[in-house]
Structure 1
Amino acid sequence: MPKTRPAYPAEFRRQIVDLVSAGRDPTDLARAFEPARQTIQNWVAQADRSEGRRVAKPPPTDPGLTATKGDEFARLRWEVR
């Protein structure tokens, strides 16, 4: 069973995001503090989206997929779950 830890407090995440915004490298922060570099980058991206500085990427689309087929696939995925 993988080890899990409680979520980092919001204040801690905000401070890490502020440090990255001030020019610190996420890799250096990951070495100094516990969160992984990717986790820190995810926090920065989420903060950017929340503050309107970044737009969420749309999911990849299949050029041969019509809206009707896409709706049908979504319905079938839901039924399978």
Structure 2
Amino acid sequence: MGRRGYPPDFRRKVLDLVASGRKVSEVAFDLKISDQTIYSWLRQHQIDRDLGPGLTTPERADLRAARRRRRRC
């Protein structure tokens, strides 16, 4: 889909499909996206729910913004 990525509502629907019991590989094939992409979304979803280590989505956004500001200097 390019550099912009997938819309949040699409990601949510994909995660719901996997949560309903469908296999990641099956969902990825049907929607023509990488299974690794889905695994990344699942991992980030776990982090956002505080069920795993890592930066939450808002923390990642803050870090990206700080890096952008630093590059401008």
In structure 2, the residue matched to 1:14 is 12
| 1:53 Cα deviation from its structure 2 partner | 1.9
In structure 2, the residue matched to 1:29 is 27
The number of residue pairs the alignment matches comes to 53
Q: In proportion to residue count, which structure has more helix?
A: 2
Q: 1:1-81 alignment to 2 at 5 Å?
A: 5=2, 6-56=4-54
CA distance in 1, matches of 2:11, 2:18: 11
Tell me, which stretches of 5 or more residues in structure 2 are unaligned? 55-73
RMSD of aligned C-alpha atoms?
1.4
TM-score by length of 2: 0.64
CA distance in 2, matches of 1:48, 1:40: 12
Q: Percent identity?
A: 30
Give the SS at the match of 1:48. helix
| 1:9 Cα deviation from its structure 2 partner | 0.4
CA distance in 1, matches of 2:19, 2:43: 11
Tell me, which stretches of 5 or more residues in structure 1 are unaligned? 57-81
